[in-house]
Structure 1
Amino acid sequence: MGSGGLEPGELLPPMRELAVRLGVNPNTVAAAYRTLRERGVIETDGRRGSRVRAKPVTTARELSRLDVPPGVRNLSDGNPDPALLPPLADVLAAAAARADRAPVLYGEAAEEPELVRLARADLAADGVPDGPVVVTSGALDAIERVLTAHLRPGDAVAVEDPGWRSVLDLVPALGFRAVPVGVDDDGPLPEDVRAALEAGARALIVTDRAQNPTGAAVGAARARALRAVLEEYPGTLLVEDDHGYRIVDLPLHPLAGATAHWALARSVAKAYGPDLRLAVLTGDSVTMDRVRGRQRLGPGWVSRLLQQAVAGLWADGAVDARTVSAGYGRRREALIDALARHGIEAQGRSGMNVWVPVPDETGAVARLLHAGWAVAPGARFRTNAPPGLRITVSTLGPEEIPAVADAVAAAVGPAPARRYV
């Protein structure tokens, strides 16, 4: 594979056959295949065997960071506005104010009781079914632990397309097959979800609000439609990502409970800062028991000091969700309106990103970079969806928005009609 002797999509020989051919123990070949799956080089499709991935994960991750030359305005990173995050001094003070006199030792509870109490209250207010709460090191850590708690290599996972690039890389890196599901402003398309589940997908990952990169948010009608589909396939593992918690003013319409095994993760990264590597995860008791059990065999727990800090920030109202969501909303809407005046249709219902369909994203990215604006190419976020650009608006000033729209218009021209399938 490294020499190019095997083409993307090419089927690999069965492990026993290859072991005979090479004169080695079958366990040696099995270990090699497992390593290649974990590195995202190959994918396994049950009895159909293993084949070379079309886009190895290592390549996708190497390309995930855009080099931004000095003097170029970076609108590609997906970061929150530092001005809307609580100051570090407040974070440290919140931890210090609630730190226990006695240190936490091995064998004690992994979850901070006050954090669990606050999280459970907010989840219940948003209509999320009751369930155990586990604390993980961010949303991606939570998603990985839930998937591996139920799935085996070769299982298919339905993912949003376009969708969060970390999930698009994580799924094959774990040895699973990603099945793309189209999205619109209301989230995953029910007919695509049904097709994926009918084809054998064992899990579905849904972003409830502030979908990355399109800003989609699951509305009430779409939630009902998706729940109806999931109820037809009760064995599906449902994973919901609510990283838009406290940065989005749209209500949550959870799908949790539509299947026997489900989980919903709330990360604090976007509202309180990415360096607070923490997410609260809830779900059915079997899933949470498996996640907690596996966590004990790895990191053990997320720092209780960190959990106390987050609990303090929540209790003190360190982030005003209405102010934050309004700030991002004004920037998104202003950019979408400015692009519309150029005849360019863009999407950004919630969150801190705007998605712009384009006929040629590579050329558009290059021309925008030459004009002094760095944006993220859509190839990082899509599988079958048409080309596009992701523009992070979190730090855009009102005086910059017309210039960005002018530059996008010059770089791409009028975009085709929007349909993300």
Structure 2
Amino acid sequence: MAEQYAISGTSAKGIAASVERGVAEGGLAPGDTLPPVRRLADDLGVSPGTVATAYKELRGRGVVVTHGRGGTVVAAAPSVASRRPPKVPERLRDLAGGHPDPAFLPELPAPVRMTAGARSHRSTPRLPLLEERVQEWLGADGVPSGSVTFAHSALDCVARLLTTELRPGDAVAMEDPGYHHLLDLVQVMGLRTVPVAVDDEGMRPEALREALRAGARAVVCSPRAQNPYGGCFSERRRDDLVEVLRGAPEVLVIENDHAAEIAGAPLYSLTAGGRLARWAHVRTVTKYLGTDLRWAAAACDPATLARHDGRLLLTSGWVSHLLQGTVLGLLTDRMARELVHRARDAYAERRSALAGELERRGIASHGASGMNLWVPVRDESAVVNGLRSRGWWVAAGARFRIASGAGVRITSAGLKPTEAARLAADFAEVLGESEATYGG
């Protein structure tokens, strides 16, 4: 239990504010255990009910989580102090960030010129030309695109969708290993994460079925370029997952196609054919048009779209028309499209080159699509530190995992094929040293 920070307050709100301040300022760290309700009540001279109400409020805001007899602890990624990846040390090759190669990002055009004066953004939140382009784009991949909307990013869209459908304490089926920001987002919203194991074809049907039996009210998944494992739905896997989901028509299915144009794999969308009752397909462009383009498109069933847009109207109201105009310009620019196609081919070549070099040395990896490889290891810290000593910086798998085995994620997007052999050789040496130290 954290003893260095003294919680204060004489009301539930005051106690909650004190804990939140301690988390924000670092006095309470992720994983620190808060005092039991009765002990803190005695210390502060308040009733146990007052402390219990404060803890309940903190849980609802994602600041703390309760583990039964394990007590109440500060969340791993508390909403008042969002976790950031560690800073890359100087002179190390960064293969941990999940970023695209800047050489394949098109140059952003000058800001779109808009007419002067007030514009009715609330009555026309989406530029008609961009809306039409998105409908064509999604429809060409088999996604029902009659109802589309925009958001400020995939995370923004997913958060709004979950907020309109779920309440604190509800369960969400999530990929394991999965995208750490999505895992953190679900946690800080006060929702419960139910892990769903993945393989090279994405979510495993039997694992999804178990998650639904455990009470999951929403499912968040990636149809291709799954982060960090790299899985992509095959047609058969897609159909098997749909069959599982059709047994739970009230569950909201959110499909995050974050790397669509550079995934290096076709899309087999769960939404195709209209077989799901509640669904949303979210697509972004930051990985191949520009990391500052915080824009997302979503196709949804009509009820889900109405709930999303109703909540959007009450907050930011709309996505900037300047941003929409920039995205439209890039989506329709021939040179930008050609650069994206080159990026897709280069990422596939680089991913395959590293996987092949690792395989030559007896090291299994996973990366059927996207920009990353997942390499199962026994000791993440030993591998990360060993590669660091050789000039490489890779991501420890702990922040991507719920219940799955250890591993490291390597972003291969910027790794030239000529460099793959050196990294694989260093990786093999590090594994050998690790086994010599800790046993085979």
Fold shared per TM-score above 0.5: yes
Note closer, same or farther for the CA distance 1:351–1:190 as it changes in structure 2 (3 Å cut). same
Contact 1:235–1:259 at 8 Å: present in 2 too?
no
Q: Which amino acid aligns with 2:229?
A: T
CA distance in 2, matches of 1:365, 1:387: 12
Q: Who is 2:110 aligned against?
A: 92
Secondary structure at 1:202's aligned position in 2? strand
Note closer, same or farther for the CA distance 1:192–1:122 as it changes in structure 2 (3 Å cut). same
What's the CA shift for 1:316? 1.6
Deviations 1:48-71 (A, max 9, x none): 999635852239976641232211
Secondary structure at 1:209's aligned position in 2? coil
Selected match of 1:204 from 219, 222, 225: 219
Note closer, same or farther for the CA distance 1:367–1:198 as it changes in structure 2 (3 Å cut). same
Give TM-score, length-normalised by structure 1.
Answer: 0.88
CA distance in 1, matches of 2:163, 2:349: 39
CA distance in 1, matches of 2:403, 2:317: 38
Deviations 1:76-134 (A, max 9, x none): 1100111111112xx326x34xx456653453311111111111111111111244211
CA distance in 1, matches of 2:231, 2:206: 17
Deviations 1:135-154 (A, max 9, x none): 11111111101111100110
2:60 is equivalent to residue 41 of structure 1: no
Deviations 1:228-271 (A, max 9, x none): 00011111110100012111232211112443221111011111
Contact 1:39–1:173 at 8 Å: present in 2 too?
yes
Q: Who is 1:375 aligned against?
A: 394
Q: Which moved more, 1:32-41 or 1:396-405?
A: 32-41
Secondary structure at 2:253's aligned position in 1? strand
Selected match of 2:378 from 325, 340, 359: 359
Selected match of 1:239 from 254, 258, 267: 254
CA RMSD of aligned residues (A): 3.2
CA distance in 2, matches of 1:33, 1:42: 9
CA distance in 1, matches of 2:323, 2:92: 35
Q: Which moved more, 1:263-272 or 1:1-10?
A: 1-10
Q: Who is 1:141 aligned against?
A: 156
Gaps of 5+ in 2: 6-27, 436-440
Which entry has the higher C-alpha Rg, 1 or 2? 2
CA distance in 1, matches of 2:50, 2:117: 48
Contact 1:209–1:215 at 8 Å: present in 2 too?
yes
Gaps of 5+ in 1: 417-421
Note closer, same or farther for the CA distance 1:9–1:224 as it changes in structure 2 (3 Å cut). farther
CA distance in 2, matches of 1:188, 1:60: 31
Q: Which moved more, 1:311-320 or 1:209-218?
A: 311-320
Note closer, same or farther for the CA distance 1:10–1:395 as it changes in structure 2 (3 Å cut). closer
CA distance in 1, matches of 2:278, 2:391: 47
What's the CA shift for 1:8? 6.7
What's the CA shift for 1:41? 1.6
2:176 is equivalent to residue 161 of structure 1: yes
Q: Which amino acid aligns with 2:100?
A: P
Q: Output aligned runs, 1:261-272, within 5 Å.
A: 261-272=278-289
Note closer, same or farther for the CA distance 1:258–1:13 as it changes in structure 2 (3 Å cut). farther
What's the CA shift for 1:36? 3.7
Note closer, same or farther for the CA distance 1:49–1:282 as it changes in structure 2 (3 Å cut). farther
CA distance in 2, matches of 1:157, 1:232: 16
What's the CA shift for 1:22? 6.1
Aligned pairs, number: 406
Contact 1:37–1:174 at 8 Å: present in 2 too?
yes
Which structure has the higher relative contact order (CA within 8 Å, separation 6+)?
Answer: 1
